[in-house]
C-alpha cells in the first residue's frame, strides 16, 4: 500500500478489534453479500454488497480504493447510438426482439454430459436447425460478417474493421441449453420450449442462459448494420455449442481456431456471459466477473476383500467409503480472505462506498489493508455465513457414489466422485495435497494403503487389509482463471463506462452515480476457460437486469424466463459496447 493511501485512511479511527461489529449490522452486510449469489449457466456471482451514498468526506478514499469509470456514451457515433436507442423504445422493435428470442428458445439445443463426438452422436444434429433459424432471423449479419463453422456446430463470425492496426474485440455466448428433466414438465407455467411471451416475460429453457445473450449480440449487430455502421475495429463473435457440458467439442475447438487465425493476446478484450446488476437496499451495483474458480473431480475408491455377507468383516468397502466421506464432509477446506482475492476488493468497494455498513466493520475492512489482525477479524465475521464461505473458498461436494452388486455379497469395491470448485487464490495441486492429507489418517486407522493421483503415499512393503485410491476420473482438471486487470485497465473502464451509460440511457437518467461497478468472479466456469491465451482482458458480464421482479430467474430449473425489458437493455448494452470500443484509442 502506498504512503498516499495510508494517509487517506488516517481519517478513520483505529479499528477496535476487541469489539466485533454489532450482530444486527453484520447481518445486514451479510444479507447484502448473499443477494443474487446464484448465477447463470449454473453458477455466476450476481450480488455482493449493499451500496449506499458515500459520505462526502470519504469520496477521495473511495476513488483511491474503488475507482469508478465515468459513464461512457458514444461520441463519434452519437447519431447512430441515438437512432438505435429511439428504435429500441418502439413497440415495433420490442415485438421483433421477442420474436428473435422466442424463436431461438423453441429449438431444443440441449447438450448432455459425455456425448459422443460430432458426427457420431445424433443428438448434435439439432444445432443444424438452430443455424438455419439464425440465418433467416439475422439476414444482415449473415450477408455482412464472414462465418466459419468450427467442428460443424461452432460459430465464429468476423466483422472486418477498416483499421487493421486496432486489436479486435471478441464477444461470446453459447447455443446450447441444459436439458429439461421430463419429470418437471408439468411444473412449468408454459411448456419449456414454447418460447411463450406473456406480455412481460419470454419463457423457456435458454431464455436467460444463454440464448438471451446470443440473441442480444446478434440483434445489436443486425441493428448497427441496418443504419449503415461500418466498424473501424474488427469484431469477432464466437458461439460454442456445449458450454453446459464443459465446452469440450465447442469452445475448446473454437479456441484452437482463433489462436491459429489471430494468435495469442490478439484481442483487446473478451466479453462472455456472467454477472449482472443488482439492487441492494435501494442502490444498484454491477458485478462483472474478472476471474473464475477452478474445477476438479476426484474419484475416491476403496477396495477390500469380498465374500459371503453372512460372515461380514467389521467394515465393508462401502462402510470404509462411508467413513471417508464423513471425514471429508466434517472437514471442509477452510476459506481464506487474502488481499489478492477479487472478493477482497469487492469488500473494499463496499467499505468506502456503502454508507450503511456498520462503522466498525467499515473500519475493520479499511484497516485490513495494512493490518493482518484486522484482515483476520473481517474473515472471522464473513465466513460465519456458509454461503459466503462457499462463494469465496474451495468447496467439495460428494455427487456420485457406487458400489456393491448383490445383497448377500460383500462388495470388493466402492467409490465416490467428489466435485471441487477451487478458490481463485488456490490451485489444483494445493487441493490434491489437502485431500490427501485428510484421507491419510483414515487409511492408517483401517490399515489401508493409499495412492493419490499415481503417487504411492503408504509403505508398499507393508501388508494392508485393503486400499484407497484418489484419482482423476475424467481428466477435466481446471486451474483457477487468471485474474483479468480491472484497476486502471482501459478495457475494464470501457466495460464499466458502457454499463453506466446503458443503465442511465435505458431509464432516462444522467450522471455517474446511479449505478456502480464492483469486480466479482464466477463460482462456476464459462467457455472462457479455453480463451485465456487470446486476451488478458476477459470479462464475464451480460448486463442482465436483476432488479427485483421474477427475472432474470430460474436458470437451470423450471420456469426459466427473461423480461423483455431486460432483453432490450442487453441489446442496447452490446450496441454501446461495440460503438465505445470502436471509438477507443487506448485499447
Binding annotation for Zn(2+): 174, 209, 244, 272, 556
Per the residue annotation, which of 110, 176, 479, 572 is the catalytic one?
176
Residues 539 and 491 sit within 8 Å (Cβ to Cβ): yes
- SS3 state of residue 19: coil
CB-based contact 400:417 (threshold 8 Å): yes
DSSP E strand stretches across 204-268 = 235-240
**Calpha distance 37→183 (Å, rounded):** 27
Q: What is the SS3 assignment for 446-509?
A: CCEEEEECCEECCCCCCCCCEEEEEECCCCCCECCCCCCCCCCCHHHHHHHHHHHHHHHHHHCC
Question: What is the crossing angle of helices 342-353 and 359-367, to 10°?
Answer: 130
Catalytic residue among 210, 222, 242, 243: 243
For residue 442, what are the contacts with CB-CB under 8 A and spacing of at least 6? 323, 324, 327, 448, 468
Cell of 470: 484418489
Q: How would you classify the pairing of strands 455-456 and 395-403?
A: unpaired
Distance CA 132, CA 121 (A): 20
Task: For residue 176, indicate whether it is catalytic.
Answer: yes
- Residue set of the binding site: 174, 209, 244, 272, 556
In angstroms, rounded to a whole number, what is the distance separating the alpha carbons of residues 204 and 559? 7
534: DSSP letter = G
Backbone dihedral angles phi then psi of residue 140, each to the nearest 5 degrees: -70, -40
**Alpha-carbon distance values, 486 to 192, 544, 581 (Å):** 38, 20, 16
**DSSP secondary structure letter of residue 197:** B
User: How far, CA to CA in Å, does 542 sit from each of 40, 109, 202, 340?
Assistant: 10, 20, 17, 25
Q: What is the C-alpha separation between 585 and 493, in angstroms, rounded?
A: 13
Give kind and range of the element (H or E) at residue 283: strand 283-286
Report whether 147 contacts 157 (CB < 8 A): yes
286 forms beta bridges with 277, 517
Kindly compute the dihedral angle of the four CA atoms of residues 114, 120, 124, 129, in this order, to the nearest 10 degrees.
180
Residue with cell 483476520: 376
447 by DSSP, 3-state: which? coil
Q: Which three cell numbers stand for residue 320?
A: 470404509
Cβ 270 vs Cβ 290: under 8 Å:
no
Q: What angle do CA 569, 573, 577 make, to 5 degrees?
A: 170
Which active-site residues does the annotation give?
A: 176, 243
Amino acid at each position: 500500500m502506498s504512503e498516499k493511501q495510508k494517509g487517506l485512511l488516517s481519517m478513520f479511527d483505529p479499528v477496535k478489534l476487541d469489539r466485533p461489529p454489532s450482530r444486527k449490522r453484520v447481518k445486514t452486510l451479510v444479507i447484502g453479500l448473499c443477494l443474487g449469489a446464484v448465477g447463470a449457466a449454473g453458477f455466476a456471482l450476481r450480488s455482493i454488497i449493499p451500496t449506499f451514498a458515500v459520505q462526502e468526506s470519504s469520496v477521495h478514499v473511495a476513488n483511491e480504493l474503488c475507482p469508478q469509470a465515468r459513464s461512457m456514451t458514444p461520441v463519434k457515433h452519437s447519431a447512430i447510438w441515438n437512432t438505435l436507442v429511439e428504435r429500441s423504445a418502439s413497440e415495433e422493435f420490442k415485438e421483433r426482439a421477442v420474436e428473435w428470442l422466442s424463436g431461438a428458445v423453441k429449438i431444443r439445443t440441449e447438450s448432455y454430459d459425455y456425448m459422443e463426438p460430432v458426427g457420431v452422436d445424433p443428438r448434435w444434429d439439432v444445432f443444424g436447425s438452430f443455424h438455419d433459424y439464425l440465418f433467416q432471423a439475422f439476414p444482415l449479419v449473415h450477408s455482412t460478417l464472414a462465418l466459419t463453422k468450427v467442428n460443424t456446430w461452432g460459430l465464429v463470425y468476423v466483422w472486418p474493421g477498416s483499421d487493421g492496426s486496432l486489436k479486435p474485440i471478441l464477444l461470446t455466448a453459447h447455443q446450447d441449453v441444459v436439458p429439461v428433466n421430463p419429470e418437471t414438465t408439468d411444473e412449468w407455467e408454459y411448456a419449456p420450449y414454447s418460447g411463450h411471451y406473456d406480455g412481460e416475460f419470454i419463457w423457456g429453457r435458454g431464455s436467460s442462459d444463454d440464448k438471451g445473450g446470443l440473441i442480444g449480440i446478434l440483434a445489436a449487430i443486425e441493428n448497427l448494420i441496418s443504419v449503415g455502421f461500418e466498424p473501424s475495429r474488427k469484431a469477432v463473435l464466437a458461439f460454442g455449442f456445449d458450454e453446459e457440458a464443459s465446452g469440450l467439442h465447442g469452445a475448446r475447438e473454437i479456441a484452437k481456431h482463433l489462436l491459429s487465425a489471430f494468435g495469442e493476446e490478439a484481442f483487446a478484450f473478451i466479453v462472455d456471459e456472467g454477472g449482472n446488476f443488482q439492487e441492494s437496499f435501494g442502490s444498484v451495483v454491477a458485478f462483472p466477473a474478472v476471474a473464475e474458480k477452478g474445477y476438479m473431480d476426484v474419484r475416491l475408491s476403496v477396495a477390500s476383500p469380498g465374500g459371503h455377507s453372512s460372515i461380514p468383516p467389521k467394515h465393508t468397502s462401502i462402510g470404509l467409503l462411508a467413513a471417508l466421506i464423513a471425514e471429508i464432509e466434517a472437514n471442509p477446506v477452510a476459506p481464506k480472505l487474502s488481499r489478492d482475492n477479487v472478493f477482497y476488493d469487492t469488500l473494499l468497494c463496499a467499505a468506502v462506498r456503502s454508507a450503511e455498513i456498520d462503522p466498525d466493520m467499515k473500519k475493520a475492512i479499511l484497516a485490513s489493508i495494512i493490518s493482518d489482525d484486522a484482515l483476520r477479524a473481517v474473515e472471522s465475521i464473513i465466513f460465519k455465513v456458509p454461503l459466503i464461505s462457499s462463494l469465496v473458498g474451495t468447496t467439495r461436494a460428494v455427487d456420485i457414489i457406487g458400489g456393491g452388486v448383490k445383497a448377500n455379497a460383500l462388495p470388493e469395491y466402492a467409490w465416490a466422485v467428489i466435485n471441487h470448485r477451487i478458490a481463485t487464490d488456490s490451485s489444483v495441486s494445493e487441493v490434491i495435497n489437502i485431500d490427501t492429507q485428510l484421507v491419510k489418517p483414515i487409511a492408517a486407522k483401517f490399515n489401508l494403503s493409499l495412492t493419490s493421483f499415481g503417487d504411492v503415499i503408504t509403505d508398499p512393503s507393508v501388508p494392508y487389509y485393503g486400499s484407497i485410491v484418489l484419482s482423476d476420473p475424467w481428466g477435466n482438471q481446471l486451474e483457477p482463471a487468471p485474474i483479468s486487470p480491472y484497476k486502471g485497465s482501459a478495457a475494464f473502464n470501457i466495460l464499466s463506462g458502457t454499463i453506466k451509460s446503458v443503465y442511465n440511457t435505458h431509464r432516462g437518467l444522467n450522471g455517474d452515480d446511479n449505478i456502480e461497478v464492483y469486480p466479482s468472479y464466477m463460482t462456476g466456469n464459462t467457455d472462457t476457460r479455453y480463451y485465456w491465451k487470446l486476451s488478458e482482458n476477459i470479462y464475464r458480464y451480460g448486463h442482465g437486469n436483476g432488479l427485483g421482479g421474477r427475472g432474470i430467474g430460474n436458470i437451470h430449473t423450471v420456469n426459466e424466463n427473461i423480461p423483455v425489458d431486460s432483453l432490450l437493455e442487453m441489446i442496447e448494452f452490446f450496441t454501446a459496447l461495440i460503438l465505445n470500443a470502436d471509438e477507443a484509442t487506448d485499447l
